[in-house]
Amino acid sequence: MSKYAVDERGYYGKFGGAFIPEMLYPNVEELRTNYLEIIDDPDFQKEFRALLKDYVGRPTPLFFAKRLSEKYGAKIYLKREDLCHTGAHKVNNTIGQILLAKRLGKKKIIAETGAGQHGVATATVCALAGLECKVYMGAVDMERQKPNVERMRILGAEVIPAESGSRTLKDATNEAMRHWINNPQDTHYIIGSVVGPHPYPDMVTRFQAVISEEVKKQLKEVEGRENPDYVVACVGGGSNAAGIYYHYLDNPEVKIIAAEAAGKGVESGETAATTFKGTPGVLHGSMTLLMQTVDGQVVEPYSISAGLDYPGIGPLHAHLFESGRAQFIAVDDENSMKAGVELSRLEGIIPAVESAHAFSALDQLDLNESDVVVINLSGRGDKDLQTYINWGKY
Amino acid sequence: MVKNRINKLFDNKSENVLTVYFTAGYPELEDTLDILVELEKSGADMVEIGIPYSDPVADGPTIQESNGVALNNGISMEKIFSQLKDMRQKVDIPVVLMGYFNPVLQYGLQDFCKKCKECGVDGVIIPDLPILEYVEQYKDLFDSYDLHNMYLITPQTSEERIRMIDENTSGFIYMVSNSSITGAKKEISEEQLEYFNRIKSMNLSNPRLIGFGISDNKTYRTASEYSSGAIIGSAFIKALKGSEKNSIADRVHSFINMVKGEEVNQ
C-alpha cells in the first residue's frame, strides 16, 4: 500500500475527505461506491486504453531536450502531453470520466474550466460519446480565452458564463456544483483537476497516472532505468503533476518538484502560490491548503496563467508538501514567460504558460551533469499566444 | 442545566413553527441584531443567522449576493459574536447560526462553541461538515456547550442515512424540500408531497422543518401540514433588500405578516 495513496475515507494524511452539503451526497456517494469497480473492470480498461492510443495519441513521446540539457547541465527529458489531442493532458481524465459516466447511466455532463483546456477536453469527449455538455466558465476567463470558448461551441457544448464572485475558475466551480445539486440524477460532473470531494482527487489521479506509467517504460528504454532523479511539473489544482508523480511517489530517490505560480511575487498580494501563502482549510469539498483570510474567506488568486490561478491545491499535493515528499518552488509571471520563450527558442516548442512555470523551476534546482530530469510539458502554447504577445519581451 | 431553547420550542409547539433565515451584516453591517429583534416581535418562532462565506455553493443567487454584500460591509465571525453578545437581553426565541465549515474551522471549533454559548446561541447548521467527521471529532465538544447541530436531508437521502442522522443529531432535522439550491423553486409539487409523507411516516425522534423554496403563506402552510413548520430564507432576504423608505422593522413585519397570512399593517 502506497504511503501516498488515498485512504478509504478519502484522506491523504490530514487532507482530503468529502466536505459537501447533503444535496451533493447521493451523487458523490454513487461515484465513490462505483468508481474503483468500474475503472478496474477489464472492459473499461480496454476501451479506455484504446481511446488513449487511437484518439488521444498515446503514448506521448518522451523527448530528450538536447539544447535545454546543455544549458542547465543535466539530462532533461520532456513528457510531451502537449501532443495529446486537444493540446494538453486534460483529455486523459475526460476520456476516463466520460466512459465512467456512461457506465453510471448518466445522460448529461457538466464541467468547469479556467483557461478552457479542461472545457475543451470535456466538450471533445462529450461529442465523442454523444452526451449533452454544459461548461461553466468565469465570465472574465471567457473574455481572456476566447479561442477556447469558440472551440467548445464548435464541439457542441454550451458555455455558461459564471457571473458570481470574481467571475473566474473558483466561481465557475461553484456554479457547476450548484448545477449538480439541482440536477442530481441524470448528470455527471467532470471535475478537471485533482480537487473536489473524494473520490475526485483519487479518480482523476488514476486517469492521469498513465503519464508516469509511460515515463517509466520510456526512460527504461533510453536511460536503462525507470526512475529519473527529478520529476518536475506545474501545480495549479495539480492534475498533470499528480499524473507524472504517481508511479514515483513511493520511490524516495526520485525528487518530486512542484512549480507553483507566484504571480507578481509570493509577497505581492497577487499570487497563486498556495503552499507559500496557504493554510489548511476547506474548499470545493476537500480539506486542503488554501489561500484565505484569517476569517476563512477564500482569497482571489492571481497568475498570468489562467490555468494556475486557483486558490487551493489538490489534497494529495497538500500532503506531499506537508510530508516533505515534494519540494514546492514558486515561479513568478516574468520568469515563467522567459522560460516559455526559452523553450521555444531552444527546442522549437512553445509551451502553455502553465507548463512554462515548470521549466522556470529548473533555475532553482541544483543539478549535476548526470542527473536525469523529466519535466511534464503539460500543454501547448497556442492558446496562450496572446499572453506571450502582450508580454512582448522576445 | 437550562433546557435548550430549541427543545423548549418544539415541546410547546408542534406545528406551524416559523423559522426565518437572514444573513448577518445584511443589508447593512449593524442590522443583525435589529432584524433579530423585529423577527421575534413579528412572531417568528426561531431564527437562523447566516455566517457569510465567499463560496456558498449550496445557496442560490439571492443568499450568495447577500453573503457578498455582508462581507463587503465588513462582517466577520468576531463581528457577528460582538453583535450577538447581549442578544439574550432582548430576545427569547431560539437562535441558530448557519454557515459553511471553513470559517468555523478557522475561528477554531472550541472558540466557536464557547462564543455561541456566551451569546446564547442554541444550535448550528454547518451543511458541509460531514456527519461522520462531526460525530467522531466534534460532537462531544458541541454537546458540552449544549449546542445542537442540525443536519439536512433531501429527497435523495436514503432511509438508512436519515436514521443515522436522526440518531446522531439533536434539535431538528432540516428537510430540504427538493433537490436544489436555496430559493430555486416556488411551487410544491406532488413528488415533494410524497417525499414529505414518506419522511413523516418514519416517526423520527427529532422534529422536522421544511426549507428551500418556502416563500409565502401558501408554501408555509403546505410545509407545516407535513412537518412541524417551515424555514424561509431567500424570500426574506429579498424582502429585506426592500425599499429604502421602509424601515427594517416595517420590512420584517410586513413580510412575516404576509407569510403568516395576517393583515399587513403599514
Cβ-defined contacts of B248-252 (< 8 Å, 24+):
B248/B31, B248/B34, B248/B35, B248/B38, B249/B34, B249/B38, B249/B41, B252/B35, B252/B38, B252/B39, B252/B42
Q: Min CA distance, A83 vs chain B (Å)?
A: 36
In this structure, the dihedral spanned by the alpha carbons of residues A235, A238, A240 and A242, taken in order and rounded to 10 degrees, is: 120
Q: What is the pLDDT of residue A103?
A: 98
pLDDT of residue A10: 97
Does A18 sit within 8 Å of B130, measured CB to CB?
A: yes
Mutate to test the interface with B, among A136, A169, A181 (most CBs of B within 10 A): A181
Global pTM?
A: 0.96
Smallest CA-to-CA distance from B176 within B127, B225, B121, B122 is with B127
pLDDT tier, B106 (very low <50, low <70, confident <90, very high otherwise)? very high
Q: Which of A181, A282, A297 is closest, CB to CB, to B101?
A: A282
Residue ranges of domains in chain B, CATH in brackets: 15-260 (3.20.20.70)
Cell numbers given for B179: 433537490
At B226-257, the pLDDT tens digits run 999 999 999 999 999 877 778 999 999 999 99
Mean pLDDT of chain B: 94
pLDDT above 90 covers a percentage of chain A that reads 92
**Residue A92 Cα, gap to closest chain B Cα (Å):** 27
Spell out the SS3 assignment of A109-172.
Answer: EEEEECCCHHHHHHHHHHHHHCCEEEEEEEHHHHHHCHHHHHHHHHCCCEEEEECCCCCCHHHH
Contact B156 A26 (CB under 8 A): yes
Span A12-52+90-199 CATH architecture? 3-Layer(aba) Sandwich (3.40)
Q: How does strand B173-176 pair with strand B208-211?
A: parallel
Nearest CB among A17, A170, A296 relative to B103 is that of A296
Residue A305 makes CB contacts below 8 A (sequence gap 6+) with: A115, A236, A261, A336, A352, A353, A354, A356, A357, A384, A387
User: Which distant-in-sequence residues (6+ apart) come within 8 Å of B221 by Cβ?
Assistant: B261
Tens-digit pLDDT profile for residues B13-61: 999 999 999 999 999 999 999 999 999 999 999 999 999 999 998 888 8
Q: What is the DSSP letter of A305?
A: S
Residues 6+ apart with CB under 8 A from A89: A81, A208, A211, A239, A240, A243, A376, A378, A379
* Consecutive H or E run containing B174: strand B173-176
Structure confidence at residue B243 (pLDDT): 72
In this predicted structure, what is the pLDDT of residue B245? 79
Judge whether residue B186 has pLDDT over 70. no
* pLDDT recorded at residue B242: 73
What is the rounded distance in angstroms from the CA atom of residue B71 to the CA atom of residue B66? Answer: 9
User: How confident is the prediction for chain A on average, in pLDDT?
Assistant: 96
What contacts B38, CB < 8 A, 6 or more positions away? B248, B249, B252, B253
> Pick from A58, A31, A310, A13: which is nearest to A209 by CA?
A58
Asked if the Cβ–Cβ distance from A21 to B57 is below 8 Å, we say yes
Do A59-87+209-392 and A12-52+90-199 have the same topology in CATH? yes
**A69, A102, A112, A277: the active-site residue:** A112
Torsion of CA B248, B252, B253, B258, to 10 degrees: 140
Contact B189, B212 (CB under 8 A): no
Which residues in chain B have their CB less than 8 angstroms from residue A281's CB?
102, 105-106
- A90 noted as active-site residue: yes
Half-sphere exposure of A108 (CA within 13 A, CB side): 13
Inter-chain contact A178–B179, Cβ cutoff 8 Å? Answer: no
Looking at A139-153, A313-327, B7-21, B159-173, which range is the least confident one? A139-153
Q: Do A164 and B127 make contact, defined as CB atoms within 8 angstroms? A: no
Dump pLDDT digits (tens) for A143-170: 888 889 999 999 999 999 999 878 888 8
How much is the average pLDDT of A114-133? 96
Contact B156 A25 (CB under 8 A): yes
The values of phi and psi at residue A259, to 5°, are -100, 120
What is the pLDDT, as a whole number, of residue B89?
A: 98
CB contact under 8 A, B127 and A284: no
Judge: A178–B181 Cβ closer than 8 Å, yes or no. yes
- Catalytic annotation, residues of B: 48, 59
Distance from CA of B170 to the nearest CA of A (A): 17
- The domain limits of chain A are 12-52+90-199, 59-87+209-392
Query: ∠ CA A140-A284-B128 to the nearest 5 degrees?
Result: 135
Residue with cell 432576504: B237
Checking if the pLDDT of A259 tops 50, the result is yes
CB–CB contact B57 A178 (8 Å)? yes
B76 touches chain A (CB under 8 A): yes
* Closest residue in A to B176 (Cα–Cα): A23
Residues in chain A, total: 394
Q: CB distance A17–B130 less than 8 Å?
A: yes
- Name residue, grid cell 429583534: B37
Residues of chain B above pLDDT 90, percent? 87
Q: Which of A23, A296, A297 sits opposite B176 (nearest CB)?
A: A23
Q: Provide the percentage of residues in chain B whose pLDDT is more than 70.
A: 97
Question: What pLDDT, on the 0 to 100 scale, is given for residue B266?
Answer: 44
Nearest Cβ partner for A22 among B60, B76, B154: B154
At residue B223, the pLDDT reads 94
For position B108, what pLDDT does the model report?
Answer: 98
Write down the ipTM of this complex. Answer: 0.94
B102 in contact with chain A, both atoms CB, cutoff 8 A = yes
Beta bridge partners of A263: A332
In this predicted structure, the answer to whether residue B126 has a pLDDT above a threshold of 60 is: yes
Q: Which of residues 15-44 of B touch A (CB under 8 A)?
A: none
Q: Please, what is the Cα angle at B257 between B219 and B194, to 5 degrees?
A: 15
B152 interfacial to chain A (CB closer than 8 Å): yes
| CB atoms inside a 10 Å sphere around CB A352 | 29
pLDDT of residue A3: 85
Task: Tell me what pLDDT residue A1 has.
Answer: 59
Backbone angles phi and psi of A211, in degrees to 5:
-65, -55
CA-based nearest residue in chain B for residue A18: B130
Active site residue A2: no
Please check whether residue B56 is in contact with residue A298, taking contact to mean a CB–CB distance below 8 angstroms. Answer: no
Cα A122 from Cα A199, distance rounded (Å): 19
Q: Quick one: pLDDT at residue A42?
A: 98
* Cβ-contact B237, B63 below 8 angstroms: yes
| SS3 at position A345 | helix
Q: Give residue A327's pLDDT.
A: 98
**Strand order, beta sheet including A108-113:** A158-162, A132-138, A108-113, A187-190
Chain B residues close to A279, C-beta within 8 Å:
106
Nearest to A177 among B57, B151, B180 (CB): B57
| pLDDT of res. B159 | 96
CATH architecture label of A59-87+209-392 = 3-Layer(aba) Sandwich (3.40)
Structure confidence at residue B263 (pLDDT): 60
Distance, CA of A224 to CA of A76 (rounded, Å): 15
